[in-house]
Structure 1
Amino acid sequence: MGAHAHDEPYYVHAKHMYNLHRMKHQQLKVSLSVLAAVSIGVGVPVYAVVFQQKKTASG
């Protein structure tokens, strides 16, 4: 019994929940996921700086 003992029928980890080595088109999916994460990680701060500078310049 763990922290989720009351959810036992609904919260059971499968023996092989994440079979990443058997994923179809693994290289494409992982590459796109990493590219999306990096672009969000770079894009959000850049947008925030541009927005802040635009807001400061108009005041």
Structure 2
Amino acid sequence: MASNTALRSAANLVRSSQSFITKSSSGSRSFHSTGIKRGGHHEPEYMHAKHMYNLDKISNRGLKMSLAVFTGFSIGVAVPVYAVIFQQKKTASG
């Protein structure tokens, strides 16, 4: 969803820059900036937000949560260990 919005805003930016180029080539110079759209959130993007993090209703909650904690812990240990081993190999060979 976010990438779709980003593509739309990039397309609008290209369109506005093309119109800026055609206007400036006619002799008049100006600077145009689009304003930031602010306001409420649209319902379809946030329709399930109330129930998104309802951990009590997850099926196999014990298995999924323990797997998530184990995965996070493993990444948190493995990345620094790999970084130290890589750095030591790099300094030993150089």
TM-score by length of 2: 0.52
Q: How many residues align?
A: 57
- Match status 1:35 vs 2:70: yes
Runs of 4+ in 1 over 6 A off after TM superposition: none
Aligned partners of 1:23 and 1:58: how far apart in 2?
50
Query: When you count helix as a share of all residues, which structure comes out higher?
Result: 2
Structure 2: unaligned runs, 5 residues or longer: 1-37
Q: Which has the larger radius of gyration?
A: 2
- Secondary structure in 1 matching 2:51: coil
Structure of higher RCO (CA pairs closer than 8 Å, 6+ residues apart): 1
TM-score by length of 1: 0.78
Letter in 2 for 1:22: K
Q: CA deviation at 1:12?
A: 2.1
Q: How much is the aligned-residue C-alpha RMSD, in angstroms? A: 2.3
